[in-house]
């Protein structure tokens, strides 16, 4: 049995874990389209397995709390199967997970977030907690942006991102059984394929979201077939190492 | 790959599933104490696996949607590890799952609910949906109460219920790897052990909730060791058959 | 003057009542169609008068607090005159009644609920109060289900319920001046009259609400004319005795 | 039977009333201290009976909808027995009453408001409805301010108001059985008895609420014993006539 | 630099101001049509400048806090440029301003309100604060109603009010650069121009709001050209003197 | 008169502006400590004046809508004078501004945001609007991050940011009258001055907010005195040019 998951512990185990494992990792995913080759749960699977690897790395000082299987995905709702929470409901769920854990004595909580659409809501929770729970530390981390140097070394398409090279590489590494290898096909790969609003939405500094049906016919940005064998390992290793490094410093603080 | 789970489908699969699998099952659990021998995730595990068996029974006409891993458990918060949503946040999550599924075309949604604490919130969602989504069918089912005749045939304790004979029997059947057989110990088993408020809270018709630390020192009602080998199978078979029977009638309507 | 009603007391009387009458009964009704023969206020009238009889039985140790004249009735909105609160607003009203009474020192509050549509919201309030007001006892009771044995002895229709034999009998007993005897006509009385969704909605264990215009052309389930003279008295006596018995135990606890 | 009350109608009667009685009066009260001589329900009783007199005056073209027995009374919570809703819950209740009535076809709704603490929330509802229900007319009226000329003719105390001369006179007229004549005693009657904040709170144009325990030891402003026999009738007649006059113009518009 | 504005102070200045300037004035405006001759910000400009004059009068014992540039204006939304908050959002903003100021030590807060549409929401905030912040004094004042005697001395139109004689006179006095003198034209000036609902909406005691496009073709009530030179000064002087007088008494209490 | 500000237009001007100026800029600020030398309104002043420069650059095709003078600043509440909205109230205000503008016909709205604490809430609004207003374009831009290349050319402290070199330079350029030159003093300037949590909070990719009293004794990060004369101009010019460039592309799309 996996003793790193709070879900699988008994209440007596949990009582000991408050002291022994003072850091709780909350895997946050999404339930949204990932193109023709990846499953709807891609983001949760990545977050969950990376959280597990981080917890293993920390050797018992961290454990996985309850997960967030559905995230904030309004931009993907035009694609069948996408299930989305509103920003305020997602934030409420995170806040209430945190409040329960805080009640039992945990003071360090890190959301391991596999879905960019959750970023803003997670930050609002972090802000609200500064006032309501001043004795609590709350942080959240994305996945792929932690390894942007690794992505830079991959031969990615001009346009790449959602369900593209880096994400597919991670899922192949973490859950190859969920990847439909034969259905992997490129989505939008060149800037010239984007219309003017789509181009504007991908500016670096200015936030201007558009829905994904405008960005890509099949929901994919980039070419998932271009991820060479070792990329998944490099990405996952880098992400795990960086989260674990952060956690080590936090636990030592 | 398990094609009964929406989470594992691609968006293209999901688009076909709206027609092929017009019924969505949402497994609802809790993240709460289940005594010294069962894990915090007991209710989700039961709901999820029973939903899977029901879907299998229906042979592709139903699939599992996103799950609800955390439920409404204020009465268990005195026990370490319990994570609870408020009644309104839990209801909001269910409603937003339903709204997304409705948007894609599903019109029949059945929550397979492993945790009694969710009952009231599920019913409020059902009531609200009558007005906001008149073209939608929404139902929810408990588990053990569907098999009360089977429970009546078991040799249960005078006081039995949470983490007791029937629940332990189900988990042994559905996920034996999660049961700490050696840690199974009786909790409150006789009415004489209850104080006056505890006794009042267990009246049949009048709803008077008290917190579980008042009802049981270790969080258990009944004696989990008394579940004989075949009870788990009988309970699960009865529950699955009755949910599947309901679903068949609904699909035929 | 009726000294069992808080509404009719002065503030000085109320101050004494906190000690003398430690149990507050809150009558909860609905404002909804009750077929061609019963008034929209049927549920409040039943709840209010039964609460009054219970208070009388308790001889001053309980009193009636403010009533809830409108309940949760989305399933009856197709019938003219029905006024409904949403589940969250109804719950907020109950919670705020309770918070005010708690502030004055009352610690035992029992909602006497004449309308099944309020059940779920009342239970969510009870759950929320476990966390926010741990020193408070909050319970709610239905009416007719307390006397299911009496109903079983009546010669009711195959399909019976809303505005049917048992409810009409109660109103005849409690407020005969509100019953339009000549307008009492049967509604849906046989299962064969229900369509498939209507049939599904009346399964015992699975909750699947449908709107009442699907269940009955005139809003009635059962035949209100079949209530023999003594049934109303038997029902009311049983309900009052059982609530009073519960209250006695609670007051003694 | 009183056919002016929607609560006492059947749904078939209600359907006819949408056309025959196009104006709905909603009596709004409070559940709050009214000094040593008047009951907690004083404001609802006044509102309800005045609404009834107005409806009678209009001869069937108006009827009484569901009442609001509890209002917004935070300023009276220091006095035992006061039950208060928050401003937003009270507003939600009013809005949901209106939405249900609107659904059945009513387009003219007038709240007959016996309690000044409800004024602000009623006005926020009126503002919100301008956007959400542009085809609806919604108005609210106070009681005593409609007859300020009559009050000016009474020999009232220098400080007068809550539970004082004019309010007591109305209740004597409308429900003498609820007035404890022997317990009527003066409260704060002279400006010199107010402290500086109390004085500031009673400026005409600047709104500066304070709690009533600061304004009066026994919760009364004025001397309820000074209401001469005819004042109650004059006040009630004036109030009824003015509301009925407004309603006539509205019905004719 | 204007040391009466908190916005222009540093945090160190602000710390001293809690003691030195114990009264905070919050200017509340609207962002709404004011006819062909006045700008959308008319109400904020009036509130802000009058608050400044009051603060100057109080000689450092009061300062201006953050302003409320947008108010509750659903009745003006038919006119281009009007921006409106809902009643609950406007109230939340005021409440959160107050909570922050309270946290720093301020206990006297006065909203100087240039827009009648904000009145009800401000009063709900005042009511809520009685319970949540019993150690805080919170008041709000309108502008023109403080000088109703001055208005009575002006030769105003039979119908006058929004963007009419008194409001135009104030803006001419306070910010003449914002008045388009040549575009000032009369709006509705006689009762005979109002339709029956418009007439009803202008009853003194009964609140019955209608949207402004029903009251006036160009959004103006009255004739803004009729304000003689001295009226603006008389109005502003009277308003400032009365608010300052109230503040003096409050500061001395 | 400044015709680029909607606040200063009449409703008739506004009606024309919907067509002539199809882009609305909403300046968003904060009301929070900016150390000993800068005023509480620093962020609004920067946002407002930069928005004005952008509008001027666009030559009438954009105008300034209502501003957001108070933002989300829980991390600064330990410093006197800071006024903060909760994340949900700030988001509600933005959403309601947008809804009003949308109602009048505007379809392009850009928040010019001077305060990083608003970022997350602005992004949640952007996400929610994708579902509720699919025909609307909504974007938000920060200020200083648009000119990170200019900052990189400045000789900034090892630790720099809030109220430091780049922010002070901007305010000197945009509103020198609000800068207390003699009070400008360094805050935290070296990493070694941060404690371990403070260091963690400034990781690039992982979001881990702490309150500013932990990061800096006087609320400043960096040394505001080190901004050489030309930096303010370079920063402002770059920021304005980049926002205007984005707006040009949008207007042309």
Q: Which helix (H) or strand (E) holds F110?
A: strand F108-113
Q: Domain F6-252 is in which class?
A: alpha beta
Contacts of B199 in chain C (CB under 8 A): 249
Architecture of domain E6-248: 3-Layer(aba) Sandwich (3.40)
- Residue A81: which of B6, B67, B92 has the nearest Cβ? B6
Contact flag A82-B92 (C-beta cutoff 8 Å): no
**What does the pLDDT look like over A140-194, one tens digit per residue?**
999 999 999 999 999 899 999 999 999 999 999 999 999 999 999 999 999 999 9
Chains linked to A by 3 or more Cβ pairs within 8 Å: B, F
Measured between CA atoms, the residue of chain B closest to residue A180 is: B10
The answer to whether residue B203 scores a pLDDT higher than 90 is no
pLDDT digits (tens, 9 = 90+) for C80-130: 999 999 999 999 999 999 999 999 999 999 999 999 999 999 999 999 999
Nearest Cα residue in chain C from B248: C200
Cβ neighbors of F110 (< 8 A, separation 6 or more) are: F23, F24, F25, F26, F62, F138, F139, F140, F141, F243, F246, F247, F250
- Class for the domain spanning B6-247: alpha beta
Instruction: Write the CA distances from A59 to A56, A62, A237, D151, integer angstroms.
Output: 5, 7, 16, 80
**Contacting residues of E for F79, CB less than 8 Å apart:** 11
Closest residue in F to E41 (Cα–Cα): F7
Among F86, F17, F85, F91, residue whose Cα is nearest residue F55? F17
pLDDT band per the 50, 70, 90 thresholds, residue D228: confident
Q: Which residue in chain C is spatially nearest to D14 when comparing CA positions?
A: C81
Residue numbers in B near A69 (CB within 8 A): 7, 66-67, 69
Q: How much is the pLDDT for E227?
A: 82
Whole-number pLDDT of residue C70: 98
Mean pLDDT within F172-201 = 96
Residue F114 has pLDDT above 60, yes or no: yes
CA neighbours closer than 13 Å in the CB half-sphere of residue A106: 32
Interface present between B and C (3 or more CB pairs within 8 Å): yes
- Residue pLDDT, tens place only, D89-110: 999 999 999 999 999 999 999 9
The reported pLDDT for the residue numbered F49 is 97
CB pairs under 8 A between B and C: 139
Say whether F39 and E81 touch across the interface (CB within 8 A). Answer: no
Taking an 8 Å cut-off on Cβ atoms, the answer to whether B7 and A34 are in contact is: no
3-state secondary structure B109-138: EEEEECCHHHHHHHHHHHHHHHHHCCCCEE
Q: What is the pLDDT of residue C2?
A: 56
User: How far apart are alpha carbons E176 and C61 in whole angstroms?
Assistant: 70
Whole-number Cα distances in Å, A113 to A43, A99, C110, C243, E174:
8, 19, 45, 51, 54
Residue of C nearest to D19 (CA): C80
CA distances from F132 to A75, A212, F128, F213 (A): 12, 16, 6, 39
pLDDT of res. D227: 82
Sign of CA dihedral A201, A207, A210, A216: positive
Which comes out higher in pLDDT, residue E203 or D224? D224
- Is the pLDDT at F2 greater than 70? The verdict is no
pLDDT band at B229 (very low <50, low <70, confident <90, very high): confident
Task: Label each residue of D89-110 as H, E or C.
Answer: HHHHHHHHHHHHHHHHCCCEEE
Residues of A in contact with B12 (CB under 8 A): 36, 80, 183
Do the chains contact at B100 and A86, CB–CB below 8 Å? Answer: no
**For residue range C2-59, what is the model confidence (pLDDT) as tens digits?**
568 999 999 999 999 999 999 999 999 999 999 999 999 999 999 999 999 999 999 9
C188-227: pLDDT as tens digits: 999 999 999 999 999 889 999 999 999 999 999 999 999 8
**F123-F126-F132 Cα angle (round to 5):** 145
Query: Taking CB atoms and an 8 Å limit, are F196 and A252 in contact across chains?
Result: yes
Which of A8, A38, A44 shows the shortest C-beta gap to B39? A8
Category of A163 on φ-ψ map: left (φ > 0), alpha (ψ -120 to 50) or beta: left
pLDDT at B228: 76
pLDDT digit string (tens) for A52-74? 999 999 999 999 999 999 999 99
| Binding partners of E (≥3 Cβ pairs within 8 A) | D, F
Q: Mind listing the pLDDT tens digit for each residue in B179-191?
A: 999 999 999 999 9
Segments making up each domain of chain D, as ranges: 6-252
User: How close does chain A come to F39, measured CA to CA in Å?
Assistant: 23
């Amino acid at each position: 049995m996996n003793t790193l998951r709070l879900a699988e512990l008994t209440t007596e185990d949990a009582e000991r874990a408050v002291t022994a494992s003072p850091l709780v990792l909350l895997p946050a995913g999404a339930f949204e389209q990932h193109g023709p080759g990846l499953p709807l749960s891609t983001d949760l699977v990545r977050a969950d397995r990376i959280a597990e690897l981080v917890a293993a790395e920390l050797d018992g000082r961290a454990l996985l709390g309850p997960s967030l299987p559905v995230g904030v995905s309004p931009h993907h709702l035009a694609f069948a199967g996408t299930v989305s929470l509103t920003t305020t409901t997602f934030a409420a769920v995170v806040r209430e997970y945190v409040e329960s854990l805080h009640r039992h004595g945990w003071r360090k909580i890190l959301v391991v977030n596999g879905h960019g659409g959750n970023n803003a809501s997670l930050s609002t929770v972090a802000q609200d907690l500064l006032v309501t729970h001043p004795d609590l530390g709350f942080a959240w981390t994305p996945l792929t942006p932690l390894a942007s140097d690794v992505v830079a070394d991959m031969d990615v398409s001009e346009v790449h991102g959602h369900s593209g090279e880096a994400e597919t590489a991670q899922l192949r590494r973490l859950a190859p059984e969920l990847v439909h290898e034969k259905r992997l096909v490129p989505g939008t790969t060149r800037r010239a394929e984007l219309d003017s609003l789509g181009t504007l939405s991908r500016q670096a500094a200015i936030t201007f979201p558009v829905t994904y049906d405008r960005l890509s016919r099949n929901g994919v940005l980039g070419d998932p077939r271009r991820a060479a064998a070792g990329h998944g390992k490099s990405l996952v290793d880098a992400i795990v190492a960086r989260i674990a490094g952060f956690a080590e410093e936090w636990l030592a603080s």
